[in-house]
Amino acid sequence: MADGVPVSSTLPPSTIKSRPRYQGLQAVPTARHNLVAADGEGVRPVLRMLSGAPPGFAGRTHVLYAGSETSAAEDLDRLHSLGTAQVDVLPTSDDLIRALDGLLSTASMGTRLYAAGTEGFIGRVLTIAIGHGIDHKSVLTEHSGSRARRVQCVHCKRITEDVTVSIFECAGCGVLLFVRDHYSRRLAAFQGVCANAEDPSQRPVPEEAYP
């Protein structure tokens, strides 16, 4: 929007072609209704968007927030004070995704969707959106918080959330996984492949890669 608020992202410029671009949250002033999903630190860009939005925008906005009510108490108070139509705090992102799924199933065109938070969370919101016929390019997204990755083990298909290291042991099949720089939009996850297939005696040392 023309309010000149700089859009920040904590992700470094991506050289990974398959990784979605998170363009930053921007209010769509013409939207009839706004659904905003945020986890953890994602509440910050939501606040920034709402405080810079045109009059009346917050009153058409329903925020779903996954995180602890106590740690984000101040931010949640501000959400209310900005005139947000509804703020729901869900204990986990699983609960949030379920609630969002329900809301989208009765939503109509003119409703715009926004997602802010970790990459894994944004990816899950996008997957749900696509399931309701929303084009992923029309969802406004902003990365905020940890750079942790959501990883699918290509061997046993188990999804591991919040992976911050380059190499880890899959809790599903015990294989030592190397996290590849390839993102699957369908799975909303990066790919983990066996790190020592040639020589199982090798145990590469994990590095803190995605803090």
Partner 1 sequence: MSFSDVSHKEELLVRVEDVAQVADRVKRFRLVPVDSERLPAFSGGAHVTVMMDNDERRIRNPYSLMSSPACTHAYEISVLRVEESRGGSHYMHTRVSPGTELWITPPGNLFPVHQLARKHILLAGGIGITPFMAMTAQLSTLRHRFELHYAMRTEASGAYGKVLKERYGDRVRLYRTSLGERIPLTDLLEDQPLGTHLYVCGPERMIDSVLESGRLAGWPEENLHCERFLPPPGGDPFVVRLARSELDVHVGEHESILEAVEAAGVNPPYLCRGGVCGQCETRVLSRDGVLDHNDHYLTAEERDAGQQLMICMSRFRGRELTLDL
84 binds partner 1 (CB under 8 A): no
25 binds partner 1 (CB under 8 A): no
Query: Which strands make up the sheet holding 61-66, listed edge to edge?
Result: 86-90, 61-66, 33-39, 111-117, 140-143
- CB count within 10 Å of CB 180 equals 15
31 binds partner 1 (CB under 8 A): yes
Positive or negative CA dihedral for 83, 59, 48, 149? positive
Binders of partner 1 among residues 89 to 108 (CB under 8 A) are: 104, 107-108
- Give the number of C-alpha atoms closer than 13 A to the C-alpha of residue 102, restricted to the C-beta side: 6
Query: 194 — phi, psi (to 5°)?
Result: -55, 125
In the bound state with partner 1, the residue whose beta carbon lies nearer, of 128 and 179, is 128
Q: Indicate the helix (H) or strand (E) that contains 75.
A: helix 73-81
- Give the three-state DSSP class for 66: strand
In the bound state with partner 1, the residue whose beta carbon lies nearer, of 19 and 33, is 33
In the bound state with partner 1, the residue whose beta carbon lies nearer, of 112 and 124, is 112
In the bound state with partner 1, the residue whose beta carbon lies nearer, of 46 and 103, is 103
Q: How far is the CB of 113 from partner 1 (least distance, A)?
A: 9
Choose the stretch contacting partner 1; rule: CB under 8 A; options: 1-9, 62-70, 83-91, 129-137: 129-137
Choose the stretch contacting partner 1; rule: CB under 8 A; options: 8-16, 31-39, 65-73, 81-89: 31-39
In the bound state with partner 1, the residue whose beta carbon lies nearer, of 28 and 154, is 28
The only residue of 5, 11, 28, 187 in contact with partner 1, by rule CB under 8 A:
28
**Residue 125 burial class via C-beta count within 10 angstroms: exposed 0-12, middle 13-18, buried 19 and up:** buried
The only residue of 19, 132, 147, 158 in contact with partner 1, by rule CB under 8 A:
132
37 binds partner 1 (CB under 8 A): no
**Residue 127 burial class via C-beta count within 10 angstroms: exposed 0-12, middle 13-18, buried 19 and up:** middle
- Whether 128 and 37 have beta carbons less than 8 Å apart is answered as no
137 binds partner 1 (CB under 8 A): yes
The only residue of 84, 111, 146, 152 in contact with partner 1, by rule CB under 8 A:
111
Q: Which residues bind partner 1 (CB under 8 A)?
A: 28, 30-33, 104, 107-112, 132-135, 137-138
